[in-house]
Amino acid sequence: MPLKPNALVGRRVSKQFGVDGRFEGRVASYDATQGFELHYEDGDVEHVDAAEVLRLLLPALDAMTDAASPKAQLAG
């Protein structure tokens, strides 16, 4: 069963912003038109697509198997 995009809401992300450094944030919401809304610790907000959010996701706190990973489920 494929993972629904809303299942990623609340997950932690991390992104390098050039010389400004790396910032952590969370997936705040998902909208079919705008994609995933990310809120960063410095107050910035951006919208990204599924491929980008999967690149930015930090490992879940609970151990996940490869078959249960969001990347594997969204790709299927």
Which carries the bigger pLDDT value, residue 76 or residue 44? 44
The chain-wide mean pLDDT, for the chain, equals: 85
67 has a pLDDT exceeding 80: no
Domain spans, the chain: 5-75
CB atoms within 10 A of CB 23: 16
| C-alpha distance from residue 20 to each of 25, 27, 36 (Å) | 15, 21, 22
According to the model, what pLDDT value does residue 63 have? 43
According to the model, what pLDDT value does residue 58 have? 96
Based on the number of CB atoms within 10 Å of its own CB, is 25 exposed (0-12), middle (13-18) or buried (19 or more)?
A: buried
16 has a pLDDT exceeding 80: yes
According to the model, what pLDDT value does residue 3 have? 72
Distance CA 15, CA 34 (A): 19
In CATH, which of 1.10.3470, 2.130.10, 1.10.10, 2.30.30 is domain 5-75?
A: 2.30.30
Query: What average pLDDT does the segment 7-27 reach?
Result: 96
